[in-house]
């Protein structure tokens, strides 16, 4: 249950970041995330990390982009 909850959290975060950065793209993030989750068990742990690290890094970069894009708006308020 904890694994499923973690996967759902990262999926929602990725979709939210994509929506804020690009004004959409939630379906694309979900598709890429699903492919990574399905392909993961077929890989050895090192290969799984090679898949997971870029996926989490993408979510982090999207989150940082949202912060950078919105920071000028916050200063104006």
Burial class (CB in 10 A: 0-12, 13-18, 19+), 6: exposed
pLDDT value at position 74?
A: 63
pLDDT value at position 28?
A: 84
* End-to-end Cα distance, the chain: 41
DSSP labels, 25-76 = -HHHHHHHHHHHHHHGGGS-HHHHHHHHHHHHHHHHHHHHHHHHHHHHHHHH
pLDDT value at position 73?
A: 66
| pLDDT higher than threshold 80 for residue 6 | yes
Rounded CA-CA distance 5/9 in Å is 6
| pLDDT higher than threshold 70 for residue 54 | yes
**So where are the chain's domains?**
11-76
pLDDT value at position 75?
A: 65
pLDDT tens-digit profile of 9-38?
Answer: 888 888 888 888 777 778 888 888 888 788
């Amino acid at each position: 249950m904890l694994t499923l909850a973690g996967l759902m959290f990262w999926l929602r975060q990725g979709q939210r970041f994509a929506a804020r950065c690009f004004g959409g793209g939630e379906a694309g993030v979900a598709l890429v995330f699903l492919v990574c989750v399905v392909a993961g068990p077929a890989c050895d742990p090192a290969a799984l990390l090679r898949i997971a690290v870029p996926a989490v890094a993408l979510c982090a970069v999207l989150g940082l982009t949202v912060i950078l894009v919105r920071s000028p708006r916050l200063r104006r308020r």
